[in-house]
Homo-oligomer: A and B are copies of this chain.
Amino acid sequence: MTKSNKYKQIFEDLSEKIQDGTYKTNSILPSENELTLIYSTSRETIRKALTLLAQKGLIQKLRGKGSLVLDVSRMDFPISGLVSFKELQTSMGRDDIETTVHEFGLINADKHLGSIFDVSDDTEIWNVVRSRRIQGERIILDKSYFLKSEVPLLTKEICENSIYEYLESKLGLPIDFAKKEIIVEECKEEDRRYLDLDEYDHVVVVRNYVHLKNAALFEYTESRHRLDKFRFVDFARRKH
């Protein structure tokens, strides 16, 4: 195990055993008391692991009964949360996605970007415009902006692969939370230029605001999708 936290180790172990069928769909996991013996730990630690499993949608806790293993195969990719394009790609088993970088470089914030990032004008910002070709058609246009102060170095090569892998693994940026907004807009000139729009005159626009652990916005990405190929899945648990 690589993780240091005991409850995360237990979470990952149970997660694997559910995915590989050791614990089968619609069966009940060993009780919390049994799990304390299996993993030689306290019950609260077991409960932390089970809470994670429930939040991830792998189990359903039933008071008085036990923890029910849910149908994993039915779950679509959970975009809710932060997901890079590369993750999406692999989780959907697609290898036929091509990324083309159309614009890449440093720009100075204008009024619009300045107000989004809450920084003064002429703050340096990375500007990346990419299109995604899926099964031969250019379907998605991604316009990304990163604060240079948080991302000192970026290259075109990195943008052609997964920027997030670079940001998180290499740079170790403490990404914490994101706000997504989904609306539909009329096609603009840039959509017609970079996408195969066919007859469609609207695009689905996903605006993504990504914050670091210090609560500062460090990335803003606008993802423009052709109508017919857009799909968003959200798995949400009832609060309180």
Contact = CB atoms under 8 A, between A and B. Distances in A.
Contact of A215 (B68, B76, B231): B68
A102 interface: no
Given A60-B215, A176-B60, A81 B239 contact: yes
A181 B232 contact: yes
9 contacts: A55-B239, A60-B176, A62-B215, A63-B213, A81-B238, A178-B238, A182-B182, A184-B230, A234-B234
A44 B181 CA distance: 34
A214 B28 CA distance: 13
Copies of the protein in its oligomer: 2
Nearest to A236: B81
A211 to B, nearest CB: 8
A192 interface: no
A57 interface: yes
Contacts of A182: 182, 230-234
A120 to B, nearest CB: 18
